[in-house]
Amino acid sequence: MILFKQVHKHYPGGLQALKNVSFEIAKGELVFLTGHSGAGKSTLLKLIAAIERPSLGMVIVNSQNVGVLKERALPYLRRNLGIIFQDHKLLFDRSVFDNVMLPLQICGFDYRESHKRVRAALDKVGLLKREKSQPIALSGGEQQRLCIARAIVNRPTILLADEPTGNLDAEYAHEIMAIFKSFHQVGVTLLISTHDESVLQNSGARVLALKHGELHQ
C-alpha cells in the first residue's frame, strides 16, 4: 500500500530531514511512527501526500510513484488519503458541519448523500450534537476529533495522522486512539506519528522509529 525505497529528503540550506529510509506498509496495517520532534516524522507523512517531494529514492502509494506525479494528478491522490494535521487546519469561518462537508463538496458528492455521510462521520467521533457550532467554540480534543471526522468522511483507504494526540491530556488521547483502532478494525491502513510512547504500550502495532532522519525498525 505504501512503499518507501531509499528515500532521502534534504531541504535547501543543508537540512537533511530523511536519510535512506525504506519500509513497506501492507494494506490494512496499523503502524506507528515515533521519534523526537525534528526527527522527520512530519516530512515522511508529507512525502506520502506529495505535499513534499523526495530528493532521492521512490515513494509509492497505491502503486503510484507519487514523487514524480504531475501537479494535476495530485488532487486525485489526496482524495484517497485521509490526513489529520498536527495544526488541524480547520476553517474558522464555517460551522463544524460545513468543515466536514468540504471534502465531499470537492469530490462533487450528491447533496443528500453527502449530508448523510457528514452526520455519520460526526457521529463516529462523537460530535454530532455540535454540528452547528463554530470550530472556535470547540475544545482542543474536540477540534482534533473534528479534524478526524473531516479526514474520514470521504472513506479513504489510507489514514495519515500527524501527532493526533500531541497536546491532549491522557484521557482525550485514549479516546482518539480508540477511534483509530476502530478504523483499523474495518480495514483502513493507518500511519500515525507520535512522540508519546505511552500510547504504544500494549497496542501490539508495528512501530517505525525515526532518529535524526534515519529509520530504526
Q: Which one among 118, 150, 162, 192 touches another protein, defined by CB under 8 A?
A: 150
User: Applying CB under 8 A, does 15 fall inside the site for another protein?
Assistant: no
User: Applying CB under 8 A, does 13 fall inside the site for another protein?
Assistant: no
| CA 174 from centroid of its chain's CA atoms | 17
Bridge partners (DSSP) listed for residue 159: 82, 190
Number of neighbours of residue 49 by Cβ within 10 angstroms: 17
CB 88 within 8 A of CB 141: no
Number of neighbours of residue 143 by Cβ within 10 angstroms: 20
Q: Which one among 51, 68, 137, 170 touches another protein, defined by CB under 8 A?
A: 51
Pairing of strands 206-211, 30-34: parallel
User: Applying CB under 8 A, does 68 fall inside the site for another protein?
Assistant: no
| CA 102 from centroid of its chain's CA atoms | 17
User: Applying CB under 8 A, does 105 fall inside the site for another protein?
Assistant: yes
Span near another protein by CB under 8 A; candidates 6-14, 86-94, 130-138, 178-186: 86-94
Span near another protein by CB under 8 A; candidates 17-25, 81-89, 193-201, 207-215: 81-89
State how far the alpha carbon of 198 is from the alpha carbons of 102, 148, 193, 203, in Å. Answer: 34, 21, 13, 10
| Number of residues binding to another protein, judged by CB under 8 A | 23
Residues binding another protein (CB under 8 A): 49, 51, 72, 74-79, 83, 85, 89, 91, 93, 102-103, 105-108, 111, 150, 154
